[in-house]
Amino acid sequence: MSRYEAGKRDGLARIGTYEEGEKSVSLPAALDADGLFPALRERAISNVPLSADPAFVSNYFSPGEGQPVTVHPLAPQAAGSGDCVLVANWHTALKNPRSYAAWLAGLKESVPPDTAWYAPASALPSTACLLVYSGFDLFDYRAVDLASAQKKFCLPEGEFPASLLETGVCGCEGCRDGDLRQHNRLALDRELALVRHYIEAGRLRELMEARCRADAAQVGILRLLDRNYALMERSLPVARAVPMLAATAESQNRSEIRRFADRVIERFVPTRTDVAVLLPCSARKPYSLSRSHRLFVNTVNRRAHELIVTSPLGLVPRELERVYPAGHYDVPVTGYWDREECAFIADILARYFAAHPYRRVIAHLDGGALTVARMAAEASGLDLEVTCHGHPTSPGSLKALDDALAGERRMQTDTVRGTVSWQFATDINTKGLQIRGRSMQMAVLRGKQQLFSIDPGTGLFRPTFAGWDLIPEGYRVGIDAFVPQGDVLAPGITDCDSRIREGDEVLVEGPLAIATGRAMMGADEMLRSKRGVAVRVRKVKKIEE
């Protein structure tokens, strides 16, 4: 009897436990697969090439009996919940980025999400990060042992001549003993341990962007996976409590960044005003804590809707400055925006202005941000008013901004409406609602009734039952006829909103009880899994008969 359960996720990557009979393995890991699956070496006709034509696969492929269950992109899938699936010859995909991305997407769609993934003879220190990032969990030592036989010295940066063993570049036990095979195995183990640490920290993407730099094919695979937004986005949490480092050209293609921008354009309901002012970002997050933005806020003085132009997010309304990733990203600051970056952000601005028209748009920007604003204004047919003369915080620039806003009526920034619309895709009446508290203990109240608490780590709103009454539909999880006595597990779920992602606040609804809590899986995994915690419950209310 086999069993797999993921405990921690970071996109497609997981930390989990696989049990086969009395044996239990913590994943991701490399091990002697023959010891875990002793019958595997005797299995016939499951080693069909990934590039084989459909007729060949139909005639010759077999998933085998027992564990692991072999899968193929062109074959009907026989794997079930809890199985370990083996993708034979996956190492051949590593040099073919288009096939890698297409085969992976097809397999992820057809194989149950609560399965362990085994890539035989594929893992080297240089490929381990990509494989785990792609959703593989289990590896063997065949690839590094073959490299040892070929006199190759393996590091995360690539494979080098065995003579490097004697240079002191590595001080592992294998290098001290002059044992190339031991070094290569230890190098793979160390890399997987590092990958595991990054998954636990919620920062595997940053490690992936660094590791792929040593191999053009890996860069290609990363870019092609990013293009499959549907596959990558549904597996990513809606928010993290750790900084997001956007340090490479690939960073702007992260699904989390596109999701944030799409929600700003499609969901976000801005504060009611017909005047917008575009402001530069700041190194300090949230922006309003920085010296420059304190000056901007005082100068604007509630006479315009404040929109921060930034890379790579594009546009951050003032209402969302605390929400992940707006309040949690870091970028290298050089003052130079390349053409691709400008085009990407200008497109976001143009789409925003098409969705949210303003009577006046004032650009209090300089450098690349001003270039982007002008590109967006031209595309949108807007007359852009520029108030920046030199640096945005110079006295002359601030006076020009103040003069431009003279005579405009004041309004109160509606952070509650903006955040709820972005988070739950609904517009609520915020009359009489107030944000109270400071820093780590902030809440939204109506009189003395609490409607939402605010997560200090992510900026997301956590509804109480009274808060859910304001959200008419969506972000619901249906359960069977039971009263949750703790967390809600995947087998008890009957239905859920397809928009739910890991980390989303959800309302659990059943015939006997309702509960409020946080999703620990995305909607797809909730519905297709037969084990694992689906919702971490905070409060439960029985339904009176």
Predicted local confidence at residue 185, as pLDDT: 98
B/e letters for 330-348, b = 16+ CB within 10 Å, e = fewer, are: ebeeeeebeeebbebbbbb
- Residue 420 CA to residue 435 CA, distance in Å, equals 13
**Average pLDDT over every residue of 108-131:** 97
Question: Selecting from 2.30.130.10, 3.40.250.10, 2.160.10.10, 2.40.10.10, what CATH number does the domain 415-542 have?
Answer: 2.30.130.10
For domain 244-404, give the CATH number.
3.40.50.10630
Please state the rounded mean pLDDT for residues 22-41: 91
Q: Any idea which residue has 């003279």 for tokens?
A: 406
pLDDT in tens, 264-311: 999 999 999 999 999 999 999 999 999 999 999 999 999 999 999 999
The pLDDT value given to residue 42: 82
pLDDT at 45 over 80: no
Rounded Cα–Cα distance for residues 310 and 296 (Å): 16
With a cut of 90, say whether residue 43 has pLDDT above it. Answer: no
Measure the CA–CA gap between 52 and 48, rounded to whole angstroms: 7
**Residue 113: how many other CB atoms lie within 10 Å:** 24
> What does the pLDDT average to over 402-416?
96
At 378, the amino acid letter reads E
Name the nearest CA neighbour of 107 among 136, 147, 142, 66. Answer: 136
- Locate the domains of the chain by residue range: 2-230, 244-404, 415-542
Give the Cα separation of 23 and 314 in Å (integer).
49
pLDDT (tens digit per residue) in 469-504: 999 999 999 999 999 999 999 999 999 999 999 999
Q: List Cα–Cα distances, 482 to 10, 179, 485, 507, 523, in angstroms.
A: 31, 59, 9, 15, 20
Amino acid at 113: P
Query: Can you read off the two tokens belonging to residue 177?
Result: 């003993």
CATH of domain 2-230: 3.20.20.105
Whether 67 contacts 98, CB under 8 Å: no
pLDDT at 334: 78
SS (H, E, C) 451-518: EEEECCCCCCEEECHHHHCCCCCCCEEEECCCCCCCCEEHHHEEEECCCCCCCCEEEEECCCEEEEEE
* Mean pLDDT taken over the chain: 94
Q: Tell which residue, 169, 170, 162, has the closest CA to residue 144.
A: 162
pLDDT category of residue 545 using cuts at 50, 70 and 90: low
Residue with tokens 């976000």: 268
Residue with tokens 């929400």, as numbered in its chain: 323
Q: What is the pLDDT of residues 82-96, one digit of tens each?
A: 999 999 999 999 999
